[in-house]
Structure 1
Amino acid sequence: MTRPRSAPSLAFLAIGLLALTGCAPGGSDGDASGGGSAEPQPAFVIDEDFPDPDVIGFDGTYYAYATNTPAVNVQYATSSDLETWDVSRDDVFPDLPAWADTGRTWAPDVAPLPDGRFALYFTAQESSSARQCIGVAVSSAPTGPFVSDAVEPLICPLDEGGAIDASSFVDDDGSRYLAWKNDGNCCGLDTWLRLSTLTADGLSVVGEPVDLVKQTEEWEGQLVEAPVIVRHGDEYALFYSANDYGGEEYAMGYALAPSVAGPYTKADEPLFTTAMSGSRALGPGGQDVVVAPDGRDRIVYHSWDPAFSYRGMSVSELEWPGDRPVVEP
């Protein structure tokens, strides 16, 4: 999918417009002059453009990573509690590999490796084809700098539109996998969420990918994307986003399977939508799942500000009643 970037000035413009229209922060009532109730306000923990968030916890600190801005290839922020975040202006991935062009570095995923280093799985534009493809870089620290000297992408099915939205998963037995999406909606093709097996070091792909799910439900529109796999008990939950990311119809769904490679069965309804949030999350998606300091799951995602000029990051409780995921807005 195409993810246009918004300059920081747009965020300030949106804030200014909200102030002019009398919208009070936090979804409070309108002004005392009787102008009526304000629109619901987003519950952002990062209230600036921070789309496609990925979060890991390491050594007492949470690290969040996000799609590029005009200034950096990969954004990052830190927190001790998932609630208060310090957004860095440094670039954890300052130099892209030779195969990649700058400006479209999307949906980063960072994972600890067995040797103590960290892997950054990223999406970038493959220069010869202008398609989006997936690469991997490494660093000795979660704050980078991540480095890749690869001459070609890790995953790049050009005849299927390329590949985006890499998400790593390590099973209980130590097996490593990468879930991703073929970017078929770029060129009128299906969008499959796929699973590739990684080598033990996490840096190479082994064998052929396995198809997991594609768009089939009315609420999903023309695409599914942003896969995230979580093991819960004896089942595997595949979280994903679907529909047009640029509007309120974008939403999150899930599917369950007895094995990491499927077969996955989709839920009857979406997991989390604009309506389910009471319109506090406009087009929620690009999700990740992380364990909070209290030992319970949280789901991290982006959604739009009321002016639809940037996508901030939110964190909600993720409950499992009857071993089925439910987002508590």
Structure 2
Amino acid sequence: MLALVPAGAARADNPIIQTIYTADPAPLVYNGRVYLYTGHDEDNSTYFTMKDWRVWSSTDMVNWTDHGSPLSVATFSWAKSDAWAGQAINRNGKFYWYVPTTNRSTGRMAIGVAVSDSPTGPFKDALGHPLVENGEIDPTVFIDDNGQAYLYWGNPHLSYVKLNTDMISYTGSVTQIPLTTSGFGTRTGDANRPTLFEEGPWVYKRGNLYYIVFAAKCCSEFIAYSTAPSPTGPWTYRGTIMPTQGSSFTNHPGVIDYNGGSYFFYHNGALPGGGGYTRSVAVEKFTYNADGTIPTITMTTTGAPQIGTLDPYTRQEAETIAWESGVETEPSAEGGMNVSYIDNGDYIKVKGAAFGTTGATTFTTRAASGANGGKIELHLDSLTGTLIGTCTIPGTGGWQTYTTITCPVTNAKGTHDLYFKYTGASGSLFNLNWWQFTTGPTPTP
């Protein structure tokens, strides 16, 4: 469990995941939703100790739903360790996730590909062996307008292959992109690496221009980019996007357009206990310059603004979170994930819940407790804001023995940040699977 975040930090929304340490963000826009694929730094890591990958999603860029871990090193029978930076893409109704991991038989880093029918998995090894292997890392995948797909990866080199339409095989040989100073900037002080390119490439197209965004000049890294008239170059170095900052000596970019805005994902060490091996994913909204260049982007604790509002009258997963303190998540016996390890004083914030002019009259939640339960205090706008209701959760006889509980609420009108404050005795209180408000006459028992 991550250390508690001071209450004063509750107004922040970056980093966007606080229940675990995350790294190497790879966002994907699909069907009106942003899916975020990340690595997972283990607590108290002193190296890149990473065993699985994680998935999150959001429609408003601030409230993120935890979909757990649909892919791990163990998914690949040939892999030994190192669930490092990957990227997922959709094609032909399937989702392909390209990841680097250590090949058990060769001891080298190799690129595997996993496939799923859903953006949230589960994913399975598509091949039973690496797709490509040259000892290098950090794949990025891109499908051009003409349907040709490309896979790029590398550190210390930068290579690509042309993927076939099945997305799990390729045509031709691995091609190494020339790392020239005109293409990737000039590094000083390292005769073996004359350019700024380090790792973590992210390739995409905007208009007629191809972009490659990358982690530059270890260590500490900054984020830079180059552009080209074709997906294979020639590349021209364009400069810094995100200067070195953020208490992590690595960084990793992910860039998308979503709902009319442009978003830049990265990681830092901003959470309690955070650092170079305990990183956290964050996001900023930005606007391209008129000539297509990318402005300098600085890390903030504010993050991206919310798109629209959250509907409290539809069922919301308890693991949909804008900010939290103290809780964790785990797979639920009822499917999906649930919020767990809830102790006295822990809380979750969801941002921008739109209760409307009529207002809510009841709050319903699905809860389980292998102990004596506790209470959920529902506050508006802060942990000490207007108390709209208190819901008592009983012991249910098991941590996955769920029951549905409904409680009355009052004064829940307008749009507010909603805080779930958990109170009770010492130790874990209860688990939560989902919640929902209703409006209208208060039902009679």
Same fold (TM > 0.5): yes
Matched, 1:311 2:288: no
Q: CA deviation at 1:54?
A: 0.6
Q: CA deviation at 1:75?
A: 0.9
Distance 1:281 1:170, change over 3 A: farther
Distance 1:212 1:82, change over 3 A: farther
Moved more, 217-226 or 169-178: 217-226
CA distance in 1, matches of 2:167, 2:175: 17
The residue aligned with 1:31 is none
Unaligned 5+ segments in structure 1 are 1-8, 28-40, 184-190
The aligned length equals 277
Which residue identity lines up with residue 287 of structure 1 in the other structure? Answer: P
Q: Is the 8 A contact 1:53 1:65 kept in 2?
A: yes
Matched, 1:67 2:45: no
Q: How does 1:72-87 map to 2 (within 5 A)?
A: 73-87=52-66
CA distance in 1, matches of 2:71, 2:185: 37
Q: How does 1:231-250 map to 2 (within 5 A)?
A: 231-244=205-218, 249-250=220-221
Which residue identity lines up with residue 200 of structure 2 in the other structure? Answer: A
| Secondary structure of the corresponding residue to residue 137 of structure 1 | strand
Distance 1:229 1:287, change over 3 A: same
CA distance in 2, matches of 1:172, 1:106: 28
The residue aligned with 2:146 is 173
Q: CA deviation at 1:79?
A: 1.0
Which residue identity lines up with residue 231 of structure 1 in the other structure? Answer: K
Q: Is the 8 A contact 1:120 1:136 kept in 2?
A: yes
CA distance in 1, matches of 2:189, 2:148: 30
Distance 1:304 1:176, change over 3 A: same
Q: Identity of counterpart residues, as a percentage?
A: 23
The residue aligned with 2:256 is 290
Q: TM-score, normalised by structure 1?
A: 0.75
Q: Is the 8 A contact 1:235 1:257 kept in 2?
A: yes
2:243 to 254, 261, 273: 273
CA distance in 1, matches of 2:88, 2:282: 19
Q: TM-score, normalised by structure 2?
A: 0.57
Q: Determine which structure has more spread, i.e. the larger CA radius of gyration.
A: 2
Residues 114-160 of structure 1 show CA distances to partners (whole Å, capped at 9, x for unaligned) of 2x111111111100222111011111111111111534211101xxx
Report which of the two has the higher share of strand. 2
Q: Is the 8 A contact 2:140 2:201 kept in 1?
A: yes
| Secondary structure of the corresponding residue to residue 25 of structure 1 | helix
Q: How does 1:174-189 map to 2 (within 5 A)?
A: 174-181=147-154, 183=155
Matched, 1:140 2:117: yes
Q: CA deviation at 1:94?
A: 7.4
The residue aligned with 1:25 is 9
Distance 1:78 1:94, change over 3 A: farther
Distance 1:219 1:255, change over 3 A: farther
Report which of the two has the higher share of helix. 1
Q: Is the 8 A contact 1:240 1:287 kept in 2?
A: yes
Distance 1:117 1:42, change over 3 A: closer
Q: CA deviation at 1:95?
A: 4.1
| Secondary structure of the corresponding residue to residue 16 of structure 2 | coil
Matched, 1:299 2:269: no
| Secondary structure of the corresponding residue to residue 175 of structure 2 | strand
Q: Pairwise CA RMSD of aligned residues?
A: 2.8
Moved more, 211-220 or 46-55: 211-220
Q: Is the 8 A contact 2:254 2:266 kept in 1?
A: yes
Q: Is the 8 A contact 2:21 2:40 kept in 1?
A: no
Moved more, 219-228 or 250-259: 219-228
| Secondary structure of the corresponding residue to residue 85 of structure 2 | strand
